[in-house]
Structure 1
């Protein structure tokens, strides 16, 4: 009775090129989200100062 052959998965080491590509993609995605957040905050600040300059809002509480 001959030993039956079982197909075993051969483990290979991590692919350096694949790891670099995944890192670049994740870095660009995170950087894009951070940049969008930064632009949104910048837009809010610019809008606030535009309204302040027009006199539509005030930072001083009105006395009653």
Structure 2
């Protein structure tokens, strides 16, 4: 005498392909933000040296 069969939700493990794709996507996003930060810093430094070369600013304190 078998009882009624009850359908249980089967738990599946993590999808390796999905995890790799998510990791690559997050890596590209973080890398892009880091690269944009460095481009911004490089632009600031280049602007500083351009102004220094033109004589608009000086690194020597005026007395």
User: TM-score, length-normalised on structure 2?
Assistant: 0.88
Q: CA deviation at 1:8?
A: 2.8
- Partner residue of 1:13? 13
- Partner residue of 2:48? 48
In the alignment, structure 1 residue 37 sits paired with structure 2 residue 37:
yes
- Partner residue of 1:23? 23
Number of equivalenced pairs:
61
Ranges in structure 1 where 5+ consecutive residues have no aligned partner: none
Distance 1:8 1:61 in 2: 77
Q: What is the alpha-carbon root mean square deviation over aligned residues? A: 1.4
User: TM-score, length-normalised on structure 1?
Assistant: 0.87
Q: CA deviation at 1:10?
A: 1.1
The runs of at least 4 consecutive aligned structure 1 residues that moved more than 4 Å come to none
